[in-house]
Amino acid sequence: MALTIDQIVKASKVETEEFEVPEWGGTVLLRGISKRDQQLIWKEASGGSDDPTDMNTQILNKLLLQHGMVDPAVDDAAFEKLSDGYAGTLDKIVLKIMKVSRFSDADLKAVQRKFSSSTGE
């Protein structure tokens, strides 16, 4: 028997995960990004482009952290403070948020390439 929409919605509940950040000496609570939020993030970070390589990585980082790091919460001021830390630490958290959100391998690779090209790695 085919699933109902209610059964699918119940099974698709966005998960949370505690994530160890040794550089910070503790953990943060991450939440997966919903499809609705993903589409809003992509649209804002890419300026409306459908090409993931057109994304502004600063906007992408900020939005993924704001939507995906729930404890502690990240507002604009917190993002500015966190941006003064090591790039690799924030990139690791952003990529983990994408994995918790079950983003496609293609999306993960495109963002990783964008991070590498924007940091010169």
For 84, other C-beta atoms within 10 Å of its C-beta total 6
State pLDDT tens for residues 62-104: 999 999 999 999 999 999 999 998 888 998 999 899 889 887 7
Task: Give domain 16-119's CATH number out of 3.30.2220, 1.10.10, 3.30.70, 1.10.3470.
Answer: 3.30.2220
Query: How many whole angstroms separate alpha carbon 10 and alpha carbon 21?
Result: 30
Query: How many whole angstroms separate alpha carbon 99 and alpha carbon 101?
Result: 5
Displacement of CA 27 from its chain's centroid (Å) = 16
pTM summary value = 0.79
3-state secondary structure of 73: strand
Which residues is 26 bridged to in the sheet? 21
State pLDDT tens for residues 11-67: 777 889 999 999 999 999 999 998 889 888 888 988 887 776 677 888 988 999 999
Listed by start position, the domains of the chain span 16-119
